[in-house]
Structure 1
Amino acid sequence: MRTLGIFFSLWLWSGVMVVKAQQTATDSLQKRLSKAVSSLAADSTVLDSLKNKKVSKSSLAKSSLNDAALKKHSPRKAAYYSLMFPGLGQAYNRQYWKMPFVYGGLGAVVYFIRFYHIRYQDFLWPYYFSYDLTTGKQLRTEAEVFLRSQNQTRTLTLDRITQGKDFYRRYRDLNFLLVVGVWALAAVEANVSAHLKTFDMSEDLSFRFEPDTYNNSFTGQVYGVKVVVPIK
Protein backbone atom coordinates (compact mmCIF):
# COMPACT_ATOMS: atom_id res chain seq x y z
CA MET A 1 0.00 0.00 0.00
CA ARG A 2 2.81 2.38 0.81
CA THR A 3 4.34 1.65 -2.54
CA LEU A 4 1.03 2.43 -4.25
CA GLY A 5 0.79 5.71 -2.40
CA ILE A 6 4.27 6.71 -3.46
CA PHE A 7 3.50 5.77 -7.09
CA PHE A 8 0.21 7.69 -7.03
CA SER A 9 1.89 10.81 -5.62
CA LEU A 10 4.63 10.60 -8.27
CA TRP A 11 1.95 10.27 -10.96
CA LEU A 12 0.12 13.36 -9.68
CA TRP A 13 3.36 15.34 -9.48
CA SER A 14 4.28 14.40 -13.05
CA GLY A 15 0.80 15.48 -14.26
CA VAL A 16 1.14 18.83 -12.53
CA MET A 17 4.56 19.36 -14.08
CA VAL A 18 3.18 18.53 -17.56
CA VAL A 19 0.35 21.04 -17.09
CA LYS A 20 2.81 23.70 -15.96
CA ALA A 21 5.06 22.97 -18.96
CA GLN A 22 2.08 23.32 -21.30
CA GLN A 23 1.10 26.63 -19.65
CA THR A 24 4.64 27.97 -19.96
CA ALA A 25 4.71 26.89 -23.63
CA THR A 26 1.41 28.62 -24.37
CA ASP A 27 2.60 31.72 -22.51
CA SER A 28 5.80 31.79 -24.53
CA LEU A 29 3.80 31.37 -27.74
CA GLN A 30 1.49 34.22 -26.75
CA LYS A 31 4.48 36.43 -25.97
CA ARG A 32 6.05 35.61 -29.32
CA LEU A 33 2.78 36.34 -31.12
CA SER A 34 2.38 39.64 -29.29
CA LYS A 35 5.95 40.57 -30.15
CA ALA A 36 5.35 39.68 -33.79
CA VAL A 37 2.13 41.75 -33.85
CA SER A 38 3.84 44.70 -32.18
CA SER A 39 6.74 44.45 -34.66
CA LEU A 40 4.27 44.40 -37.55
CA ALA A 41 2.50 47.44 -36.10
CA ALA A 42 5.83 49.20 -35.70
CA ASP A 43 6.74 48.35 -39.28
CA SER A 44 3.38 49.68 -40.49
CA THR A 45 3.88 52.91 -38.53
CA VAL A 46 7.37 53.19 -40.00
CA LEU A 47 5.97 52.64 -43.48
CA ASP A 48 3.24 55.18 -42.86
CA SER A 49 5.78 57.69 -41.61
CA LEU A 50 7.95 57.04 -44.65
CA LYS A 51 4.95 57.53 -46.91
CA ASN A 52 4.05 60.73 -45.09
CA LYS A 53 7.63 61.91 -45.47
CA LYS A 54 7.53 61.13 -49.18
CA VAL A 55 4.22 62.96 -49.53
CA SER A 56 5.53 65.92 -47.56
CA LYS A 57 8.71 65.96 -49.66
CA SER A 58 6.66 65.88 -52.86
CA SER A 59 4.36 68.62 -51.58
CA LEU A 60 7.37 70.68 -50.57
CA ALA A 61 8.92 70.14 -53.98
CA LYS A 62 5.69 71.21 -55.67
CA SER A 63 5.37 74.26 -53.44
CA SER A 64 9.00 75.18 -54.10
CA LEU A 65 8.42 74.86 -57.84
CA ASN A 66 5.34 77.04 -57.58
CA ASP A 67 7.24 79.61 -55.52
CA ALA A 68 10.05 79.63 -58.07
CA ALA A 69 7.55 80.11 -60.90
CA LEU A 70 5.89 82.97 -59.03
CA LYS A 71 9.25 84.60 -58.38
CA LYS A 72 10.10 84.39 -62.07
CA HIS A 73 6.77 86.01 -62.91
CA SER A 74 7.71 89.69 -63.03
CA PRO A 75 5.05 92.43 -62.88
CA ARG A 76 7.51 94.76 -64.59
CA LYS A 77 7.77 92.41 -67.55
CA ALA A 78 3.99 92.23 -67.76
CA ALA A 79 3.79 96.03 -67.95
CA TYR A 80 6.60 96.25 -70.51
CA TYR A 81 5.05 93.56 -72.71
CA SER A 82 1.71 95.31 -72.60
CA LEU A 83 3.33 98.62 -73.55
CA MET A 84 5.15 96.95 -76.43
CA PHE A 85 1.94 95.47 -77.83
CA PRO A 86 -1.60 95.68 -76.41
CA GLY A 87 -2.74 92.44 -74.78
CA LEU A 88 0.75 90.93 -74.62
CA GLY A 89 0.95 91.58 -70.87
CA GLN A 90 -2.34 89.74 -70.32
CA ALA A 91 -0.95 86.83 -72.35
CA TYR A 92 2.17 86.86 -70.16
CA ASN A 93 -0.10 86.61 -67.10
CA ARG A 94 -1.94 83.70 -68.78
CA GLN A 95 -5.19 85.67 -68.54
CA TYR A 96 -6.17 85.20 -72.14
CA TRP A 97 -9.83 85.97 -71.46
CA LYS A 98 -8.90 89.63 -70.85
CA MET A 99 -7.32 90.10 -74.28
CA PRO A 100 -10.67 90.48 -76.14
CA PHE A 101 -11.60 93.34 -73.81
CA VAL A 102 -8.33 95.12 -74.58
CA TYR A 103 -8.74 94.70 -78.33
CA GLY A 104 -12.42 95.56 -78.10
CA GLY A 105 -11.65 98.87 -76.36
CA LEU A 106 -8.93 99.75 -78.84
CA GLY A 107 -11.12 98.73 -81.76
CA ALA A 108 -13.96 100.95 -80.56
CA VAL A 109 -11.64 103.95 -80.24
CA VAL A 110 -10.10 103.33 -83.67
CA TYR A 111 -13.60 103.11 -85.15
CA PHE A 112 -14.51 106.53 -83.75
CA ILE A 113 -11.21 107.99 -85.00
CA ARG A 114 -12.09 106.88 -88.51
CA PHE A 115 -15.70 108.05 -88.06
CA TYR A 116 -14.71 111.61 -87.11
CA HIS A 117 -11.78 111.80 -89.54
CA ILE A 118 -13.99 111.05 -92.58
CA ARG A 119 -16.46 113.76 -91.58
CA TYR A 120 -13.61 116.14 -90.86
CA GLN A 121 -12.38 115.61 -94.42
CA ASP A 122 -15.89 116.31 -95.75
CA PHE A 123 -15.77 119.79 -94.21
CA LEU A 124 -12.05 120.41 -94.69
CA TRP A 125 -11.90 120.47 -98.53
CA PRO A 126 -14.79 122.90 -99.05
CA TYR A 127 -13.17 125.13 -96.45
CA TYR A 128 -9.80 125.07 -98.29
CA PHE A 129 -11.39 125.77 -101.66
CA SER A 130 -13.14 128.81 -100.20
CA TYR A 131 -9.80 130.62 -99.73
CA ASP A 132 -6.88 131.51 -101.95
CA LEU A 133 -3.96 129.44 -100.59
CA THR A 134 -1.34 132.01 -101.70
CA THR A 135 -2.97 135.25 -100.54
CA GLY A 136 -5.43 133.89 -97.98
CA LYS A 137 -8.27 135.90 -99.53
CA GLN A 138 -11.79 134.57 -99.08
CA LEU A 139 -13.18 133.47 -102.44
CA ARG A 140 -16.75 132.66 -101.47
CA THR A 141 -19.15 132.75 -98.57
CA GLU A 142 -20.95 129.46 -99.26
CA ALA A 143 -19.93 125.99 -100.42
CA GLU A 144 -21.44 122.59 -100.97
CA VAL A 145 -20.76 119.96 -98.28
CA PHE A 146 -21.70 116.29 -98.30
CA LEU A 147 -23.52 115.52 -95.04
CA ARG A 148 -23.07 111.81 -94.34
CA SER A 149 -25.60 111.75 -91.53
CA GLN A 150 -28.29 112.89 -94.01
CA ASN A 151 -26.64 111.23 -97.05
CA GLN A 152 -27.07 114.36 -99.11
CA THR A 153 -25.13 117.40 -100.31
CA ARG A 154 -26.17 120.78 -98.96
CA THR A 155 -24.97 124.34 -99.42
CA LEU A 156 -23.65 125.77 -96.13
CA THR A 157 -22.19 129.09 -95.18
CA LEU A 158 -18.48 129.40 -94.56
CA ASP A 159 -19.08 129.87 -90.82
CA ARG A 160 -21.05 126.61 -90.62
CA ILE A 161 -18.33 124.83 -92.58
CA THR A 162 -15.68 126.14 -90.19
CA GLN A 163 -17.70 125.05 -87.15
CA GLY A 164 -18.21 121.55 -88.57
CA LYS A 165 -14.53 121.22 -89.46
CA ASP A 166 -13.40 122.23 -85.98
CA PHE A 167 -16.01 119.98 -84.30
CA TYR A 168 -14.97 116.79 -86.08
CA ARG A 169 -11.26 117.58 -85.76
CA ARG A 170 -11.61 118.10 -82.00
CA TYR A 171 -13.35 114.76 -81.42
CA ARG A 172 -10.96 112.96 -83.73
CA ASP A 173 -7.98 114.25 -81.73
CA LEU A 174 -9.75 113.33 -78.49
CA ASN A 175 -10.03 109.74 -79.64
CA PHE A 176 -6.31 109.71 -80.41
CA LEU A 177 -5.79 110.50 -76.73
CA LEU A 178 -8.23 107.73 -75.81
CA VAL A 179 -6.09 105.22 -77.72
CA VAL A 180 -3.13 106.17 -75.54
CA GLY A 181 -5.34 105.96 -72.44
CA VAL A 182 -6.68 102.48 -73.25
CA TRP A 183 -3.17 101.26 -74.07
CA ALA A 184 -1.81 102.61 -70.78
CA LEU A 185 -4.77 101.17 -68.86
CA ALA A 186 -4.05 97.72 -70.30
CA ALA A 187 -0.42 98.03 -69.14
CA VAL A 188 -1.51 99.06 -65.62
CA GLU A 189 -4.00 96.18 -65.46
CA ALA A 190 -1.33 93.67 -66.52
CA ASN A 191 1.05 95.00 -63.86
CA VAL A 192 -1.58 94.81 -61.10
CA SER A 193 -2.66 91.30 -62.12
CA ALA A 194 0.97 90.14 -62.07
CA HIS A 195 1.36 91.59 -58.57
CA LEU A 196 -1.75 89.69 -57.44
CA LYS A 197 -0.32 86.46 -58.88
CA THR A 198 2.84 86.82 -56.78
CA PHE A 199 0.93 87.93 -53.68
CA ASP A 200 1.41 85.56 -50.72
CA MET A 201 -1.92 83.93 -49.82
CA SER A 202 -0.54 81.37 -47.34
CA GLU A 203 -1.96 80.74 -43.88
CA ASP A 204 0.89 82.70 -42.29
CA LEU A 205 -0.93 85.90 -43.17
CA SER A 206 -3.74 85.16 -40.71
CA PHE A 207 -3.37 86.28 -37.12
CA ARG A 208 -2.91 83.70 -34.37
CA PHE A 209 -2.92 83.51 -30.59
CA GLU A 210 0.24 82.65 -28.65
CA PRO A 211 0.97 82.40 -24.92
CA ASP A 212 2.93 85.27 -23.44
CA THR A 213 4.40 86.34 -20.11
CA TYR A 214 5.43 89.74 -18.81
CA ASN A 215 6.70 91.08 -15.52
CA ASN A 216 4.56 93.40 -13.46
CA SER A 217 6.05 95.47 -10.64
CA PHE A 218 3.04 94.79 -8.40
CA THR A 219 2.08 91.18 -9.09
CA GLY A 220 5.33 89.81 -10.51
CA GLN A 221 5.23 87.55 -13.56
CA VAL A 222 1.86 87.51 -15.30
CA TYR A 223 0.76 84.94 -17.83
CA GLY A 224 -1.45 85.88 -20.76
CA VAL A 225 -2.20 85.51 -24.44
CA LYS A 226 -1.00 87.71 -27.29
CA VAL A 227 -2.26 88.14 -30.84
CA VAL A 228 0.38 87.85 -33.56
CA VAL A 229 -0.34 89.44 -36.97
CA PRO A 230 2.53 88.74 -39.41
CA ILE A 231 3.17 91.50 -41.96
CA LYS A 232 5.16 90.69 -45.12
Structure 2
Amino acid sequence: MNKSLLYIVLFIALTFSANAQTEKDSVVVSTPTDSITNAVAEKGIVVEEVFVAQKEINPLAPAKAAFYSAVVPGLGQIYNKKYWKAPIAWGLIGWGVYNYSTNNTNYKRFRTAFKRRKAGFSDDEFIANVSDSGLEDAQERAQENRDIWLLATIGFYALNIIDANVDAHLKQFNVSDQLSYDISPYLEANPLTGEPNYGVALLIKF
Protein backbone atom coordinates (compact mmCIF):
# COMPACT_ATOMS: atom_id res chain seq x y z
CA MET A 1 0.00 0.00 0.00
CA ASN A 2 2.85 2.32 0.88
CA LYS A 3 4.59 1.58 -2.42
CA SER A 4 1.40 2.30 -4.36
CA LEU A 5 0.99 5.58 -2.54
CA LEU A 6 4.62 6.45 -3.20
CA TYR A 7 4.22 5.75 -6.94
CA ILE A 8 1.12 7.94 -7.08
CA VAL A 9 2.91 10.83 -5.34
CA LEU A 10 5.92 10.51 -7.67
CA PHE A 11 3.64 10.41 -10.72
CA ILE A 12 1.79 13.56 -9.61
CA ALA A 13 5.10 15.34 -8.85
CA LEU A 14 6.58 14.47 -12.25
CA THR A 15 3.41 15.57 -14.01
CA PHE A 16 3.38 18.87 -12.16
CA SER A 17 7.08 19.41 -12.91
CA ALA A 18 6.54 18.74 -16.63
CA ASN A 19 3.59 21.12 -16.79
CA ALA A 20 5.56 23.78 -14.93
CA GLN A 21 8.47 23.38 -17.35
CA THR A 22 6.12 23.67 -20.34
CA GLU A 23 4.55 26.82 -18.92
CA LYS A 24 7.98 28.26 -18.22
CA ASP A 25 9.14 27.61 -21.78
CA SER A 26 6.03 29.20 -23.27
CA VAL A 27 6.17 32.41 -21.25
CA VAL A 28 6.28 35.52 -23.49
CA VAL A 29 8.07 38.47 -21.99
CA SER A 30 6.08 41.61 -22.63
CA THR A 31 7.80 44.93 -23.09
CA PRO A 32 6.35 48.46 -23.20
CA THR A 33 6.96 48.47 -26.95
CA ASP A 34 4.94 45.27 -27.33
CA SER A 35 2.09 46.79 -25.32
CA ILE A 36 2.01 49.88 -27.53
CA THR A 37 2.17 47.78 -30.68
CA ASN A 38 -0.70 45.57 -29.50
CA ALA A 39 -2.77 48.61 -28.49
CA VAL A 40 -2.48 50.33 -31.84
CA ALA A 41 -2.98 47.04 -33.68
CA GLU A 42 -6.43 46.75 -32.07
CA LYS A 43 -7.30 50.10 -33.69
CA GLY A 44 -6.46 48.85 -37.17
CA ILE A 45 -2.95 50.26 -37.35
CA VAL A 46 0.02 48.04 -38.10
CA VAL A 47 3.36 49.21 -36.75
CA GLU A 48 6.52 47.65 -38.08
CA GLU A 49 9.75 48.24 -36.20
CA VAL A 50 12.85 48.66 -38.32
CA PHE A 51 16.28 48.85 -36.74
CA VAL A 52 18.97 50.44 -38.88
CA ALA A 53 22.60 50.79 -37.90
CA GLN A 54 23.51 54.47 -37.55
CA LYS A 55 26.36 55.85 -39.63
CA GLU A 56 29.43 57.02 -37.80
CA ILE A 57 29.70 60.82 -37.61
CA ASN A 58 33.01 62.60 -38.09
CA PRO A 59 32.77 65.95 -36.24
CA LEU A 60 35.93 67.24 -37.94
CA ALA A 61 34.65 66.70 -41.50
CA PRO A 62 33.08 70.20 -41.90
CA ALA A 63 36.25 71.89 -40.65
CA LYS A 64 38.39 69.77 -42.98
CA ALA A 65 36.19 70.57 -45.98
CA ALA A 66 36.32 74.30 -45.23
CA PHE A 67 40.12 74.19 -44.79
CA TYR A 68 40.63 72.33 -48.07
CA SER A 69 38.49 74.85 -49.98
CA ALA A 70 40.37 77.72 -48.33
CA VAL A 71 43.72 76.31 -49.47
CA VAL A 72 42.58 75.23 -52.95
CA PRO A 73 39.13 76.36 -54.11
CA GLY A 74 37.00 73.36 -55.07
CA LEU A 75 39.08 70.89 -53.06
CA GLY A 76 36.53 70.87 -50.22
CA GLN A 77 33.78 69.99 -52.70
CA ILE A 78 35.90 67.09 -53.94
CA TYR A 79 36.45 66.00 -50.32
CA ASN A 80 32.65 65.97 -49.88
CA LYS A 81 32.38 63.90 -53.08
CA LYS A 82 30.35 66.66 -54.76
CA TYR A 83 32.64 66.60 -57.78
CA TRP A 84 30.29 68.59 -60.02
CA LYS A 85 30.58 71.61 -57.71
CA ALA A 86 34.35 71.93 -58.08
CA PRO A 87 34.24 73.22 -61.70
CA ILE A 88 31.58 75.74 -60.67
CA ALA A 89 33.84 77.06 -57.90
CA TRP A 90 36.78 77.24 -60.28
CA GLY A 91 34.68 78.93 -62.95
CA LEU A 92 33.26 81.61 -60.63
CA ILE A 93 36.58 82.48 -59.03
CA GLY A 94 38.37 82.35 -62.39
CA TRP A 95 35.73 84.61 -63.92
CA GLY A 96 36.18 87.10 -61.08
CA VAL A 97 39.98 87.05 -61.36
CA TYR A 98 39.82 87.50 -65.15
CA ASN A 99 37.52 90.53 -64.97
CA TYR A 100 39.51 92.08 -62.15
CA SER A 101 42.75 91.64 -64.10
CA THR A 102 41.23 93.04 -67.32
CA ASN A 103 39.83 96.14 -65.63
CA ASN A 104 43.04 96.69 -63.68
CA THR A 105 45.05 96.55 -66.92
CA ASN A 106 42.69 99.02 -68.61
CA TYR A 107 42.84 101.30 -65.59
CA LYS A 108 46.64 101.41 -65.77
CA ARG A 109 46.55 102.12 -69.52
CA PHE A 110 44.07 105.00 -69.17
CA ARG A 111 45.89 106.38 -66.12
CA THR A 112 49.29 106.31 -67.83
CA ALA A 113 47.90 108.01 -70.95
CA PHE A 114 46.08 110.65 -68.89
CA LYS A 115 49.21 111.45 -66.86
CA ARG A 116 51.24 111.85 -70.07
CA ARG A 117 48.61 114.19 -71.49
CA LYS A 118 48.82 116.31 -68.35
CA ALA A 119 52.61 116.33 -68.68
CA GLY A 120 52.33 117.75 -72.21
CA PHE A 121 52.91 114.60 -74.24
CA SER A 122 50.63 113.61 -77.12
CA ASP A 123 52.03 110.21 -78.08
CA ASP A 124 49.69 107.86 -76.13
CA GLU A 125 47.67 105.11 -77.83
CA PHE A 126 44.36 106.97 -77.37
CA ILE A 127 45.43 110.31 -78.81
CA ALA A 128 43.54 109.82 -82.07
CA ASN A 129 40.05 109.13 -80.71
CA VAL A 130 39.84 109.91 -76.97
CA SER A 131 39.81 113.37 -75.45
CA ASP A 132 41.38 114.32 -72.13
CA SER A 133 38.02 114.29 -70.33
CA GLY A 134 37.06 111.00 -72.00
CA LEU A 135 40.36 109.50 -70.89
CA GLU A 136 39.73 110.61 -67.32
CA ASP A 137 36.21 109.13 -67.36
CA ALA A 138 37.53 105.85 -68.79
CA GLN A 139 40.17 105.72 -66.06
CA GLU A 140 37.59 106.20 -63.28
CA ARG A 141 35.18 103.69 -64.83
CA ALA A 142 37.90 101.04 -65.14
CA GLN A 143 38.93 101.65 -61.53
CA GLU A 144 35.34 101.28 -60.32
CA ASN A 145 34.82 98.05 -62.28
CA ARG A 146 38.13 96.69 -60.99
CA ASP A 147 37.09 97.29 -57.37
CA ILE A 148 33.68 95.69 -57.95
CA TRP A 149 35.23 92.56 -59.44
CA LEU A 150 37.71 92.38 -56.58
CA LEU A 151 34.82 92.27 -54.10
CA ALA A 152 32.98 89.75 -56.29
CA THR A 153 36.02 87.47 -56.44
CA ILE A 154 36.44 87.59 -52.66
CA GLY A 155 32.73 86.77 -52.36
CA PHE A 156 33.06 83.78 -54.71
CA TYR A 157 36.05 82.55 -52.72
CA ALA A 158 34.18 82.87 -49.40
CA LEU A 159 31.10 81.19 -50.90
CA ASN A 160 33.28 78.27 -51.98
CA ILE A 161 34.45 77.79 -48.36
CA ILE A 162 30.96 78.16 -46.89
CA ASP A 163 29.47 75.72 -49.38
CA ALA A 164 32.07 73.06 -48.54
CA ASN A 165 31.48 73.49 -44.80
CA VAL A 166 27.67 73.39 -45.03
CA ASP A 167 27.74 70.44 -47.42
CA ALA A 168 29.90 68.46 -44.99
CA HIS A 169 27.41 69.22 -42.19
CA LEU A 170 24.44 68.11 -44.31
CA LYS A 171 26.18 64.88 -45.33
CA GLN A 172 26.18 63.83 -41.68
CA PHE A 173 22.59 64.87 -41.09
CA ASN A 174 20.19 61.92 -41.39
CA VAL A 175 18.22 62.79 -44.51
CA SER A 176 18.50 59.40 -46.21
CA ASP A 177 15.76 56.90 -46.97
CA GLN A 178 16.48 55.30 -43.61
CA LEU A 179 14.55 58.13 -41.96
CA SER A 180 11.10 57.97 -43.50
CA TYR A 181 7.52 56.97 -43.06
CA ASP A 182 5.01 55.26 -45.29
CA ILE A 183 1.22 55.07 -44.93
CA SER A 184 -0.80 52.62 -46.99
CA PRO A 185 -4.35 51.18 -46.71
CA TYR A 186 -4.95 47.48 -46.21
CA LEU A 187 -7.89 45.06 -46.26
CA GLU A 188 -8.13 41.86 -44.24
CA ALA A 189 -10.86 39.50 -43.06
CA ASN A 190 -12.16 39.66 -39.50
CA PRO A 191 -11.27 36.27 -37.89
CA LEU A 192 -14.54 36.24 -35.88
CA THR A 193 -17.18 37.49 -38.30
CA GLY A 194 -15.43 36.89 -41.63
CA GLU A 195 -16.31 40.45 -42.68
CA PRO A 196 -13.61 42.62 -44.27
CA ASN A 197 -11.69 45.02 -42.03
CA TYR A 198 -10.38 48.29 -43.42
CA GLY A 199 -7.38 50.04 -41.94
CA VAL A 200 -4.17 51.91 -42.51
CA ALA A 201 -0.66 50.52 -42.22
CA LEU A 202 1.92 52.90 -40.81
CA LEU A 203 5.58 52.11 -41.45
CA ILE A 204 8.17 54.18 -39.63
CA LYS A 205 11.89 53.85 -40.31
CA PHE A 206 14.53 55.26 -37.98
Q: What is the TM-score normalised by the length of structure 2?
A: 0.55
Rounded to whole Å, the distance in 1 between the matches of 2:84 and 2:114 is 47
The higher radius of gyration belongs to: 1
Residues 1:115 and 1:126: Cα distance change in structure 2 (over 3 Å): same
Using the aligned pairs only, state the percent identity.
Answer: 28
Offset of 1:144 from its aligned partner?
5.3
Residues 1:102 and 1:167: Cα distance change in structure 2 (over 3 Å): same
Map 1:110-129 onto structure 2 (within 5 A).
110-129=97-116
Rounded to whole Å, the distance in 2 between the matches of 1:204 and 1:178 is 39
**Match of residue 143, structure 2, among 164, 169, 178:** 169
Q: Match of 2:35?
A: none
Which is richer in helix?
1
Aligned residue-pair number? 139
Matched, 1:101 2:88: yes
What is the Cα-based RMSD across aligned positions, in Å?
A: 3.4
**Cα deviations across residues 34-81 of structure 1 (Å, max 9, x unaligned)?**
xxxxxxxxxxxxxxxxxxxxxxxxx97xx45xx22x335622222222
SS at the partner of 1:96?
coil
Rounded to whole Å, the distance in 2 between the matches of 1:83 and 1:167 is 31
**Match of residue 88, structure 1, among 72, 75, 78:** 75
SS at the partner of 2:125?
strand
**Cα deviations across residues 109-132 of structure 1 (Å, max 9, x unaligned)?**
12212221222122111222234x
AA at the equivalent of 2:84: W
**Cα deviations across residues 125-157 of structure 1 (Å, max 9, x unaligned)?**
1222234xxxxxxx44x845535xxxxx62533
Residues 1:73 and 1:206: Cα distance change in structure 2 (over 3 Å): farther
Q: Match of 1:77?
A: 64
SS at the partner of 1:95?
coil
Higher relative CO (Cα under 8 Å, sequence separation at least 6) belongs to 2
Rounded to whole Å, the distance in 1 between the matches of 2:110 and 2:134 is 9
